[in-house]
Amino acid sequence: MKSFLVILKNKSPVPLPATLLVKHVKHLQKLHHSGHLLLCGPFASEPGAVMILQADSIKEAEIMMKKDPFIKEKYYAAYNLTEFCPANPSNHWLLNSN
């Protein structure tokens, strides 16, 4: 699978409704259990949040994001979705890639 960095932005100024948070967490749990969500969380010092997804294509990652209640209900009005190449010991920190 490919790796995707998601930056959620344009957070609503309205306080987060508890019901929306529960829906969002259920979505995250589904993504995690299916092996698509590696990590996620809000930024500590500014509005916004980050997610790292694994999917077969950017289209599949886009579908995952469009199903997120935070996006569907416009708690975050926008997000950036970018494929990236993770560097780690199993791929020799990308030393053998072009």
pLDDT value at residue 17: 97
Two structure tokens written together for 20: 């929306």
Mean pLDDT of 13-37: 98
User: What average pLDDT does the chain have?
Assistant: 97
Share of the chain above pLDDT 90, in %: 97
pLDDT value at residue 19: 98
Say how far apart CA 89 and CA 82 lie, in whole Å.
22
Residue 15 pLDDT more than 80?
yes
Q: Which domains does the chain have, with CATH numbers?
A: 2-94 (3.30.70.1060)
Q: Write down the number of H helices and E strands in the chain.
A: 3, 4
- Residue 30, amino acid: K
More confident residue, 43 or 98: 43
Say how far apart CA 52 and CA 31 lie, in whole Å.
11
